[in-house]
Amino acid sequence: MLVLGIESSCDETGVALYGSDGDGGLLAHALYSQVRMHAEYGGVVPELASRDHIGRLVPLLRQVLAASGRSLTAIDAVAYTQGPGLAGALLVGAAFAEALATALALPTVPVHHLEGHLLSPLLSARPPRFPFVALLVSGGHSQLMRVTGVGEYALLGETLDDAAGEAFDKTAKLLGLGYPGGPALAALADSGRPGRVKLPRPMLRSGDLDFSFSGLKTAVLTRVRELGTLDDEQRADIACGFQEAIVEVLVSKALRAVKAAGLQQLVVAGGVGANRELRRQLDARAARARIDVFYPELEFCTDNGAMIALAGALRLQAGVAGKEPGAFAVRPRWPLTDA
């Protein structure tokens, strides 16, 4: 079964073709990032994002078909991101997917964006097995989920305010870094001196599995105001101190969640999951606790069509029937536990 995946929830347009049931796995994928366009404005402009998706989908589809050596008539179903995300951006991808499926008389599979992320490590050469605990860390979400199977998700903990990715981006802005701020801050932190800047570890000992990163951002703001004009060394030290704090909280809570769930596998997914310091510390502490950690390949940490095609294929394999093409709705806000 060949499933076409369409992703357009924010500022990346992704298209992929995935073959399940012995049809070759991930056959091809293509991605276009709008980072350069939005960098001029210091962040994502929803209207521009939506308009850009319109012009990218057909060329990316042609690219994927050419790379896979398959034709439109070989596709068995079309999966697309239904939410959460920017309403206009979601509408572009959903409308494209539903129109294509209608023309080809194919079923469609609306997919939850975060489901795509937490299943994305299954694309790796060393995939996890169900059940596992998933740490979802991205620009808009920081959650811990118990994953029993496809569509079987239980929330263990989540952020009460800023997500980890948001905290990275806002702190990067305080330090005068450009967009996207998260990767820029992580790169700057590499040149900072560990332990030089002490910052709070919010909710590290709260007794639950929830997160809160807004106070950490405020602590950085206070430090910046105290120091006044920052030199390069000070900026690097603050970036390093911030990353140390957020990584310690994420690692501690994630490992605590695995232990509380009585499992031995942890999946880390989402854009922040590509952070090298997070991976380094998590791997070290998980090894001591005899917990296996699984990550998606770096190219699948950000939004992409491959994870949507995979999630659609797995849903069909699990017996979730695809819907008839045609009428559709997007869900800009959508709890994963309702997927």
Q: Which residue spans within 8-137 are E strands per DSSP?
A: 12-19, 25-33, 77-83, 108-112, 132-137
2-119+302-338 falls under which CATH superfamily? ATPase, nucleotide binding domain (3.30.420.40)
- Other C-beta atoms within 10 Å of 24: how many? 14
Domain range annotation of the chain? 2-119+302-338, 127-295
Query: 53: closest CA among 17, 81, 11, 23?
Result: 11
Q: pLDDT tens, position by position, for the chain (339 residues)?
A: 999 999 999 999 999 999 998 889 999 999 999 999 999 999 999 999 999 999 999 999 999 999 999 999 999 999 999 999 999 999 999 999 999 999 999 999 999 999 999 999 999 999 999 999 999 998 888 999 999 999 999 999 999 999 999 999 999 999 999 888 999 999 999 999 999 999 999 999 999 999 999 999 999 999 999 999 999 999 999 999 999 999 999 999 999 999 999 999 999 999 999 999 999 999 999 999 999 999 999 999 999 999 999 999 999 999 987 899 999 999 999 999 998
Query: 6: closest CA among 50, 71, 61, 43?
Result: 61
Residue with tokens 């997007």: 330
Query: 312: closest CA among 129, 134, 106?
Result: 106
Q: What is the pLDDT of residue 241?
A: 98
Integer Cα distance of 121 and 112 in angstroms: 16
**In the CATH scheme, what architecture does the domain 127-295 have?**
2-Layer Sandwich (3.30)
Q: What is the pLDDT of residue 179?
A: 87
Q: What is the pLDDT of residue 132?
A: 98
Q: What is the pLDDT of residue 22?
A: 80
pTM: 0.96
Quick check: do 2-119+302-338 and 127-295 share a fold? yes
Residue with tokens 């994870």: 307
